[in-house]
Amino acid sequence: MKFHTKKEVARILRISKKTVENYIGQGLLEAKKIGGSDKKAGKILISEKALNEFIDKS
């Protein structure tokens, strides 16, 4: 399964990284946190499947 960073998703959708973060925060775009234990550590990844589902709903 392929995963994208918030920056990659922003580039694909032609929106800002902040907008991607807002969509994730609102539950409109499913994302997974990989690694780290606090708010700033780790990486947020969006699966290709979640991205395609988001695009289909838009």
> Domain containing 47: what range?
3-57
For residue range 35-57, list pLDDT tens digits in order: 877 667 789 999 999 999 999 99
Domain holding 31: CATH number? 1.10.10
Please check whether residue 33 is in contact with residue 24, taking contact to mean a CB–CB distance below 8 angstroms. Answer: no
Please check whether residue 52 is in contact with residue 3, taking contact to mean a CB–CB distance below 8 angstroms. Answer: no
DSSP codes of every residue in 1-58: --EEEHHHHHHHHTS-HHHHHHHHHTTSS--EEES-SSSSSSEEEEEHHHHHHHHHH-
Please check whether residue 45 is in contact with residue 34, taking contact to mean a CB–CB distance below 8 angstroms. Answer: yes
Task: Say which residue, 3 or 1, is predicted with more confidence.
Answer: 3
Number of domains observed in the structure of the chain: 1
Report pTM.
0.88
